[in-house]
Chain A
Amino acid sequence: MDFVEVATHVLTSSDGPSGLLPARQQMALSLGWHIVLACFGVAFPTMIYVVHRRGIVRDDAVALALAKRWAKVSAVLFAIGAVSGTVLSFEMGLLWPGLMGRFGDVLGLPFAFEGLSFFVEAIFLGIYLYGWGRMPARRHLAMLIPMGVAGVVGTFCVVAVNAWMNNPTGFRLVEGEVTDVNPWRAMFNDGVWLQFAHMWVAAFMVVGFVVAGVYAAGMLRGRVDAHHRLGFTVPFAFATVAALVQPFIGHVLGLRIATTQPSKLAAFELATTTEQPAPLRLGGILVDGQVRGAIDIPRIGSLIARNSFDEPVPGLDSIPPGDRPPVNITHLAFQSMVGIGTLLAAAVAVYWIARWRRRDLTGHRWFLRGAVVAGPLAVLAMESGWIATEVGRQPWTVWQVLRTTDAASESAGLWWSYAGAVVVYVGMTIGAVVVLRSMARRWRAGEEDLPSPYGPGDSPVDQARSR
């Protein structure tokens, strides 16, 4: 079965309400798009703080100019992040009325707290962006602190809802009715802390590698100066810590799955039968119940999933067919995440070891190329992680409580909604790329403030035109 067949199979095999498939597609698109911006909302203020503070404390003009530029970039990114986050709020109801109508009062409280942190972030973003030159420097810098804190709290809250979908608690089902609701117990469910840590660190990986990659690209083109060095080093340092910590968090988080979601683990590991000890199955896909093209490494599967060389990994044969997730997507997404994460951790380790031995790898073109690619790779790893955990939870929206077929909208119009979403997101992506690239181009040309182009006759654009 080639990829097209697999895709067709996945696309046609869903039996459920007519809204199920478009709802899934639209949710995947909008969540997958927003999560990248959300990472910037979470991690970028902290990085800007470090650079901005250096500019003030050391009277470092290069650092200050860098912070100013990052602030302008964040103005664009946070705006599209805010609106794409709003899309998700609407979609909770538009796409998943079966989830929100029945469980809204169980899972909703963390969203309400997230609303508070979104408020704080938006307010202090407004002050920070427009505060340049209009406030005392130290106070202006301090405006980033509530933004950073709001990023942490916001991550916790949003991830808490997802963790609840994986570990539903804080209510009882009595003959199908939701009773004994305890929203605090739901919010602080058993999976929340590790999942939160995993995503929070992922945000620093994504932003760190992406931003560092931008300056690595500049250095590749010969722009090796203090500006590019600082622009590379600060985010790379954040990415380093995150990339080195992440495998441990991911491992501990993964250890829970054997007991909490065995079917997800079976899909992660491409385990058709329960094996003890289980091998690590690299790559491969499941075709007609047979594993094809995988490389087995004995015992390592047990080590990764169970932290032991001989504990069993549950197989798909122990799961009723109706409760099995789509295996291939889950498996490949999971291994992409782990593979890329491991690669990135190794790469940063090499960089810092070399630096400790007084060799600066940023002078090597192959390293800079790698640093450029690390940004998209980090994004890919994070997206793969979300695909793995979300697809791996299927057929459940709320683990063993609510099936996705029962959560989805019954509306027949959702394909139109999805088509509209595709158009809007493509347009927004193009707009963002065009604007961000034009900002970078003007900065390289020596402009610093980027005044509005629609001024009454005297804007730089008009001057350039009349010349």
Chain B
Amino acid sequence: MSLAVVVALAMFAGIVLYGLFGGADFGSGFFDLTAGGSERGGELRILIDHSIGPVWEANHVWLIYILVIWWTGFPVSFAAATTTLMLPLALALVGIVLRGASFAFRKYSATLAQARLFGAVFAGSSLITPFFLGAAAGAVASGRVPAEGNGDPLDSWLHPTSLFGGLIAVGTCAFLAGVFLTADAARSGHGVLAETLRTRTLGVGAATGVIVFVALVPIKQDSPTLSDRLLGPAAPLIVASAVAGSATLVLLLRRRYGPARLGAAAAVASVLIGWGVAQYPWMLVDEVKIADAAGAPATLWGLLVVVGLAGVIVVPALAYLFWLTQSERWTQEA
């Protein structure tokens, strides 16, 4: 395995982790949006606040990790993507800014009216970001980002692969969030809320599963390179995703929320890794291969030092944070 591929793998690991952890944070916006009026939705919104409050900033940094490895390790392909996908990336960015800012503002709002305003912005922007990031990924995966950059600003992402990519991203985020929030609600003694969330999550999960598999049909027409590998080497992962997703729904039906979280994470991770396998060995599908996109070897080694340090410093610290948030003492007094 070449040095470039190792760095690309490290970057892709960041994508999977961002999809799982960042995705769950973004997905909570869907439940916040559909929680109902301030009276009825208050309990759920406090739960969301408590669940993602301590972790969302840390989870968000995976995106930064992805970006810095991309532009440092594969600079030309990064510039090609940003000049072509300016619109979806800028819209995703607006979502990121509005989501983070209004989430913090809402927590310390003085009045209900302010909290409603910031809450609506938080929830709405939480859906925008995954959609446009998914659409951008679809553009790369379907071979619409030319190697020299400055591709078509609209056609590059207004096509079935990107649009389904966006929908899948929104759906998987909401599914993950639903499962995690249901488990959090049940664990912190909000029984009625957990039941409501369980019903909605079952709906979201089923819908997302349908979208993922329906999407294979237009993608086959739209992106032959990607779909050849999706239905080839990546097929076991698509099957794994179907199995894990179905198992999660069964676990939710049986109110086994702890294992359901693992199932949901496995299902989403399988979809993401399936995309990664399908895209290999391309950095920009049909345009630039990973090996050809790589920057200077000395820089790739430098990036591996960073990745190693992340393993030593960031991973244990993250584990400590997540361990704390799951501990008895932090679950109380929501």
Q: Which residues of B contact A89 (CB under 8 A)?
A: 63-64, 67-68
Chain B, interface size category, equals 35 or more
Partner of A441, one of B58, B110, B114, B295: B110
Asked if A442 and B104 sit within 8 Å, CB to CB, the answer is no
At the interface, yes or no: B5 with Cβ under 8 Å from chain A?
A: no
B42, B43, B94, B325: residue with the most chain A Cβ atoms closer than 10 Å: B42
At the interface, yes or no: B105 with Cβ under 8 Å from chain A?
A: yes
How far, in angstroms, from A80 to B107 measured CA to CA in the complex?
A: 13
A127 with B64, Cβ < 8 A, contacts A80-B100, A116-B314, A417-B90 known: no
Q: Which residues of B contact A453 (CB under 8 A)?
A: 109-112, 114-115
At the interface, yes or no: A354 with Cβ under 8 Å from chain B?
A: no
B94 to chain A, nearest CB (A): 6
Q: Which residues of B contact A97 (CB under 8 A)?
A: 79, 82-83, 149
A111 with B72, Cβ < 8 A, contacts A134-B329, A184-B302, A456-B39 known: yes
At the interface, yes or no: B258 with Cβ under 8 Å from chain A?
A: no
Q: Which residues of B contact A130 (CB under 8 A)?
A: 53-54, 325, 330
Among A224-232, A262-270, A290-298, A429-437, the one that faces the other chain is: A429-437
At the interface, yes or no: A122 with Cβ under 8 Å from chain B?
A: yes
Q: Which residues of A contact B38 (CB under 8 A)?
A: 454
How far, in angstroms, from A105 to B71 measured CA to CA in the complex?
A: 7
A79 with B57, Cβ < 8 A, contacts A105-B73, A112-B68 known: yes
Q: Which residues of A contact B83 (CB under 8 A)?
A: 93-94, 97, 409-411
At the interface, yes or no: A124 with Cβ under 8 Å from chain B?
A: yes
How far, in angstroms, from A101 to B317 measured CA to CA in the complex?
A: 33
B150 to chain A, nearest CB (A): 6
At the interface, yes or no: B207 with Cβ under 8 Å from chain A?
A: no
Please provide the chain B residues from 38 to 83 with a CB less than 8 Å away from any CB of chain A in the complex: 38-43, 45-46, 49, 53-58, 60-61, 63-65, 67-69, 71-76, 78-83
Among B230-238, B272-280, B303-311, the one that faces the other chain is: B303-311
Q: Which residues of B contact A134 (CB under 8 A)?
A: 324, 329-330
Please provide the chain A residues from 131 to 186 with a CB less than 8 Å away from any CB of chain B in the complex: 131, 134-135, 146, 178, 181-184
Proximity string of chain A (222-243) to chain B, C-beta cutoff 8 Å, 1 when within and 0 when not: 0000000000000000000000
Asked if A122 and B57 sit within 8 Å, CB to CB, the answer is yes
Partner of A83, one of B46, B73, B101, B296: B101
A457 with B39, Cβ < 8 A, contacts A84-B97, A119-B310 known: yes
Partner of B108, one of A83, A90, A125, A439: A439
How far, in angstroms, from A180 to B105 measured CA to CA in the complex?
A: 48
Asked if B108 and A435 sit within 8 Å, CB to CB, the answer is yes
How far, in angstroms, from A119 to B64 measured CA to CA in the complex?
A: 9
Proximity string of chain B (281-314) to chain A, C-beta cutoff 8 Å, 1 when within and 0 when not: 0000000000000011011001100100110011
B156 to chain A, nearest CB (A): 13
Identify the closest chain A residue to B296 (Cβ): A181
Asked if B68 and A94 sit within 8 Å, CB to CB, the answer is no
At the interface, yes or no: A368 with Cβ under 8 Å from chain B?
A: no
Q: Which residues of A contact B96 (CB under 8 A)?
A: 83, 86-87
At the interface, yes or no: B263 with Cβ under 8 Å from chain A?
A: no
B218 to chain A, nearest CB (A): 28
Q: 18 new A-B pairs (CB below 8 Å) besides A109-B302, A409-B83, A411-B83?
A: A79-B103, A86-B97, A87-B96, A89-B68, A93-B82, A94-B89, A97-B82, A100-B75, A101-B78, A104-B76, A108-B73, A116-B306, A127-B324, A183-B72, A183-B299, A438-B111, A452-B46, A456-B46
Name the 10 nearest CB pairs between A and B, nearest first. Answer: A104-B75, A108-B72, A105-B295, A101-B79, A93-B82, A181-B296, A79-B104, A438-B110, A456-B42, A83-B100
Q: Give me 6 A-to-B residue pairs in the complex whose CB atoms sit less than 8 angstroms apart, sorted by A's number.
A: A79-B101, A109-B302, A424-B98, A438-B109, A457-B39, A459-B112
Binding site for B on A (CB under 8 A): 72, 75-76, 78-80, 82-87, 89-90, 92-94, 97-98, 100-106, 108-109, 111-116, 118-120, 122-127, 129-131, 134-135, 146, 178, 181-184, 409-411, 413, 417, 420, 424, 428, 431-432, 434-435, 438-439, 441-442, 450, 452-457, 459, 461-462, 465
